[in-house]
Amino acid sequence: MKISIREEHPSDDKEIECVIEMAFRHAEHTDHQEHKLVAKIRETNAYQPDLTFVAVDNERIVGHIVLSKITIKNDNDHADSLALAPVSVLPVYQGRGIGSQLIQHALSKATELGHQSVIVLGHEAYYPRFGFTRASDWKIVAPFDVPDESFMAIELQPNALQHVHGTVHYSRAFNE
Ligand SMILES: CC(C)(COP(=O)(O)OP(=O)(O)OC[C@H]1O[C@@H](n2cnc3c(N)ncnc32)[C@H](O)[C@@H]1OP(=O)(O)O)[C@@H](O)C(=O)NCCC(=O)NCCS
Write the pLDDT tens digit of every residue in 38-71. 999 999 999 999 999 999 999 999 999 999 999 9
Q: Whose CA is nearest to atom 7 of ligand 1?
A: 99
For the entire predicted model, the pTM comes to: 0.96
The number of the ligand 1 atom at minimal distance from the alpha carbon of 29 is 44
* Mean model confidence pLDDT for the chain: 96
Q: Considering Cα of 128, then 145, then 155, then 112, what sign does the dihedral take?
A: positive
Write the pLDDT tens digit of every residue in 2-47. 899 999 999 999 999 999 999 999 888 888 899 999 999 999 999 9
Separation of CA 49 and ligand 1 centre (Å)? 24
Quote the number of domains for the chain. Answer: 1
| CATH number of the domain bearing residue 43 | 3.40.630.30
**What are the CA-CA distances from residue 143 to residues 74, 167, 174 (Å)?**
12, 6, 11
Range of the domain at 104: 3-174
